[in-house]
A = this chain, B = another copy of it.
C-alpha cells in the first residue's frame, strides 16, 4: 500500500493537471504492456477507430471521420493503415455504390479484446493504489461531470492536445 498524500497539499486549480498526468501515466502503462506483448504501437486514434467500427458494422469512412472529429481524408488515411496491418477490411457497401463498408477483421476484433483487457489491467493497478471504493467513487464523479458538461451531446474523444 502506498503512502497517503496529505489532503492539505491541494492547491486550487491543480486537479485538471492531475487528471492529465494520471491519464498520461496510464497510457504509458498501457503502451508498455502492448510493447511487452510485441504488438504494433497503435496510436490512440486507432483505438477509437477500432472501438467505433466494432460497435457500428457497415460504418463508412465519412461516419468514422464524423465520429472522430477529423476530416474524411484523415480518416481514410488511418483506415488505410489499419487495412495494411490486417485489422480492417474495406468492402463494397451493401446499398450505396459510392461508399465502402468498413469492418473489423478477426485480427481487429482480437485487438479490441486485448485492449479491453489491458485497460482493465491499468485500471486495476489504479484501484490497488487508491482502493476499490475510491475508484468507484472517482468513476462515478467523472461520469457525473462529463454528463453535466455534454449532457446528451456527443462526447469529443480525443484529448485535444
Contact = CB atoms under 8 A, between A and B. Distances in A.
A123 B19 CA distance: 11
A122 B161 contact: no
Interface residues of A, number: 63
Contact of A140 (B4, B12, B157): B4
Contacts of A12: 119-120, 123-124
Interface in A1-42: 2-5, 7, 9-10, 12-30
**Copies of the chain in the assembly:** 2
Interface stretch (A57-65, A76-84, A93-101, A148-156): A148-156
Q: Is the interface of A mostly helix, strand, loop or mixed?
A: helix
Contacts of A146: 18, 21-22, 25
A15 B142 contact: yes
A149 B29 CA distance: 9
